[in-house]
Each structure stands twice: as structure tokens, then as C-alpha cells.
Amino acid sequence: MTASFSPQPRTSAPPQPPPGCPAHSHFGRVDDLAWLLGPEASRDPLAWYEDLRAKHGPVAPIRLDGDLPAWLVLGYREILEVSGTTTRFSRDSRIWTPFREGRVPPDFPLLPMMAWQPVCLFLDGEERNRLRLAVTESLDRYHRRGVRRHVIRFTRELVAKFAERGEADLADEFAEHLPMLVLTQLLGMPDDYGPRLVKASRDMVAGTETSVASNEFIVETLKRHVRRKRGSPGHDITSWLIDHRSGLTDEEVWNHLRVILIAANETTVNLLKSTLRVVLTDPRCHASLAGGQMVLPDVVEQVLWTEPPLMTVPGRWAAVDTELGGQKIEAGDMLLLSLAAGNQDPAIRPDPSAPLFGNRSHLAFNSGPQECPGQNIGRAIADTGIDTLLALLPDTSLNISETELTWQSGWMTRHLTRLPVRFTPPRSLRLADEEEEPDLQPATATASSAPPAPAAAEPLPTAPTPPAHAPAVPRGRVPWWDSLKSWLRG
């Protein structure tokens, strides 16, 4: 996985294309196209999607920085068609026409999310199947109850840090930490890896001057971890990837671990924040939970419909000339999938306010061959973490008006920046059923199977110290795909 990107700032206005540029002809006049990274899209992405749908239908032509055109797929059925038809829509970004013609600048802001990498997300055919099978089967070996035990433990530890104050920012002090702490345990890392990887990943996502060093720390940590697991396997995702019959190399293992850690952490952080906000602010949710009409997993699914962790993803590149949603798509065109717009498609949700209890047909985790393989782990972290938090702090309530909540929006994600709450400091942080919690093992472990004695972990490389002027969790977060430019260098 090698690439060379320089973290240059994006230009405020794209340059004009040469007159009559053939690459833009079937999209129409490029300067007439809606700008994906423009202020309208950032200010209210859902409204922007609906404006595009009203004007163009389920597939809309848009422009990217550098006046590079693309298609934004807004329709639910059309997203399913693109995701499930690999013969027409490839995951290999190298076939994108601007790539082949050398028209993509090195500071192109979407480049980190679409530059080809040797991981299953960017492959088709047998090689993709080999890597995807290893990732999917390794993630599936962890039973949901095994994940739950880690979530309960770390939720209690995080709550203990602020419980005596009677107030906290659950975005900063809870949601930003819990997923990474759990994920490092699932990967078989020692306890002391978790906090340092949380710190490094948050710094990398923040895009500070130490973000490149933070990425290098994460990469070196994963490389050392894979070497250690080669010699001392255990009941964890890393060991299962190493031992999988697909025969992954060390480089393939740590590259996929990085995808799991960073991508799964970011999406689960967003899911936690959004679900907590709904639980704390929506009267219908309060009434349903209190009256037993809805359980927390139902709330999570409702949030996945209305506020998917990823709003839009760079989805596919047309392998052949084709048609989609009434638009002529040419071979080499790029298609972005608007998961949030697909979930709100009037063709399948004429009444978006209607509850969708138990309905998991949303697009929050994509669909088809590239559907997120770790979605059940994300669900388990979100609903178990919030359920445990509310069991420990049952009178938690929002400490500001709901109208004061703010978001940081980009083309791909929408972050809740803070979630201040107040509560009565608890006398004890022991859960009512904690004594009865079984000694759970991953689903594949048997009563007679004892994990091998762990080898001594190599000392971690020195984690970078974020700049003193940077807040612990930036309130206006730099979009995380920009900061990923650095870790493509790994």
C-alpha cells in the first residue's frame, strides 16, 4: 500500500475545464453541476440530496474538485443495483477515466477514499473473494455475547472517570473512546494498547500537525502486533486472519486490521453519538423504552435508517457503458452512493416519520458483495454500551437545549460535535447483574479449549504528543478522509 500525497488545502473554487472537454460531454456543462464539496451540501446534506432528486431523479450528475464529474446515486433500488452488479460496476478505482488520463491532482480531497489499495474493498473477482472471505469469517467468529462482555467492562471504566462530577460530554468522554477500546480487545491486543491507539487515532482523524506521526504509530503498532500473534496465536480476530485458509501475508493482515480499526471505529463512534442523542431528546423514544414497546436495538436500527454513520461512500466505477436511473453511464465513470438519500427514498419510504421496528433493510452498511462484514460488532458496541451507560446513570439528561446541538458535516459523514449531559453521581458503578455475568469466550472456543499462554508483547513505539494548542477532541473535526492521506503511505 504505497502512495504519495501531500496534505495541501483544497482550493475554495474549482478551475474551469477547457471548452468542449469530451470527458464532460455526457454530464452536461460542468459548471452547471451541483458541487459535492460546496457549502450547500455541507450545510444541510439531506436537503441537498432531495433537491438533486427533484431535479434529476434517482441518479444525479455532480462535480468534484478540479471540475471532475461523477454520478451521485440517490435511489434506494439504484444503490442496490450498483452494489450487486459487479460485472457493470467495478470496485477497481484504477479504471476511473480521470485516473487513466492523469487528470486527478495530488491534493484531490476524495483521493484517500478512492486511490486503489491492495485490500478487498478495491478488488473484484477471485482475489477479492479470497481476502473478503478471510475478513468476514474472522469477524463472524466472535459471538455477540463475547463482544458484550468487553463493552460492559470498558463502559464502566469510562463512566468511572466522570461519574463523580455529575456531568459529562458523552461525545468527548464516552463515544469517542468506547469503540476503539473494544476493537483492540477483539484483535487480541494487550490492555495498554487501547488508550494509546484511541489517542493516536483521534489525533490522526483531527488532522493536526502530528497526525502523520500518529498514523505511523498505528501502522508500527499493528506490524508488531501481527509479528507477535504469528508466534503466539489466541482466540482473536488477528490470529484467525493469520491462520485463515486464504493464506494472508503479514502485510495483508495488518492492512486489513487498519481498515477494521479506523473505519469501524469512526462509523461506530458516529452511531453511538446519534443513538445517544435520540435516546436523550426524542420523547417518542423515552416513552417507548419506558413502556416496553421498544428495546434499544430497535432505536439503533431507527438511527441507522435516519442518520447512517456514513452519508455517502465512493461506491463503484462503471466497467461498461450502461444505463442507471434514466442516465447514460459511460465506462470509466465514477458513481458515489448516497446511503442517507437511499434510506429516505420516497419510493420505498413514502412516510419517513413512520417507525421501522425490526426493519434492517436500510443501506447504512451498504449492500451486496461489499456489505460491511463487521456490522453486528458495531451494533453490539452501540446498543450494549448505551444500555450499560443508562443502567449506571439512569437519570442522565441533556444539559443544554436540543436546539444548541451542533454538527460538523462533510460529503461522507455528519458528526455531532458535543453531547453534554447531567446526572446524579452514583454510589456504586456495579451493575445489578454483574456477579452473574458468565466467563464468556468467543463463539468458537469450547469449554475444554484453553488459549495458549500469551507471549510478551513488544514494547510499543512512542506515541506522538498532540500539539498543546489542540483540544483533546476537536470541536470542528477535519473530515477524516482528508487525514487518511497520510496513512495511505503505509
> If pLDDT is split at 50, 70 and 90, which confidence band does 482 have?
very low
What pLDDT score was predicted for residue 473?
36
Which residues are CB-neighbours of 316 under 8 A, at least 6 positions away? 82, 83, 89, 90, 91, 334, 335, 337
Say if strands 34-35 and 59-64 run parallel, antiparallel, or are unpaired. parallel
For the record, the C-alpha cell of 437 comes out as 455475568
DSSP 8: P
Higher pLDDT pick, 241 / 453: 241
Average pLDDT, the chain: 81
Q: 103-133, pLDDT tens digit by residue?
A: 988 777 777 678 787 888 888 888 888 999 9
What pLDDT score was predicted for residue 262?
79
Higher pLDDT pick, 262 / 311: 311
> If pLDDT is split at 50, 70 and 90, which confidence band does 434 have?
low
What are the phi and psi torsion angles at 168 (to 5°)?
-165, 165
Which residues are CB-neighbours of 378 under 8 A, at least 6 positions away? 179, 264, 267, 268, 271, 309, 365, 372
For the record, the C-alpha cell of 413 comes out as 459523514
What are the phi and psi torsion angles at 312 (to 5°)?
-140, 140
- The whole-model pTM stands at 0.80
What pLDDT score was predicted for residue 440?
32
What pLDDT score was predicted for residue 273?
96
Name residue, grid cell 447531567: 422
Q: 83-94, pLDDT tens digit by residue?
A: 999 899 999 999
- AA letter at 67: D
What pLDDT score was predicted for residue 416?
92
Which residues are CB-neighbours of 352 under 8 A, at least 6 positions away? 306, 344
Query: Residue 9 above 50 pLDDT?
Result: no
Name residue, grid cell 466472535: 142
> If pLDDT is split at 50, 70 and 90, which confidence band does 260 have?
confident
Query: Residue 56 above 80 pLDDT?
Result: yes
d(CA 469, CA 472): 9
Cβ atoms within 10 A of the Cβ of 145, count? 15
Q: With H, G, I as helix, E, B as strand and everything else as coil, classify residue 3.
A: coil
Q: 451-475, pLDDT tens digit by residue?
A: 444 445 566 666 666 554 443 333 3
Cβ atoms within 10 A of the Cβ of 326, count? 11
d(CA 466, CA 212): 11
Query: Residue 217 above 70 pLDDT?
Result: yes
Residue 328, beta-bridge partner list: 323
CA angle 334-340-345, nearest 5°? 95
What pLDDT score was predicted for residue 413?
81
Query: Residue 289 above 80 pLDDT?
Result: no
Query: Residue 77 above 90 pLDDT?
Result: yes
Which residues are CB-neighbours of 459 under 8 A, at least 6 positions away? none
d(CA 224, CA 203): 21
If you write DSSP's letter for every residue of 9-35 in order, what string do you get?
PPPSSPPPPPTT-GGGGGG--GGGSEE
Query: Residue 442 above 60 pLDDT?
Result: no
CB contact at 8 A, 308 and 363: yes
pLDDT above 90: percentage of residues in the chain: 49
What pLDDT score was predicted for residue 186?
94
Estimate the share of the chain in helix, then strand, then coil, as percent rounded to the nearest 5: 50, 10, 40
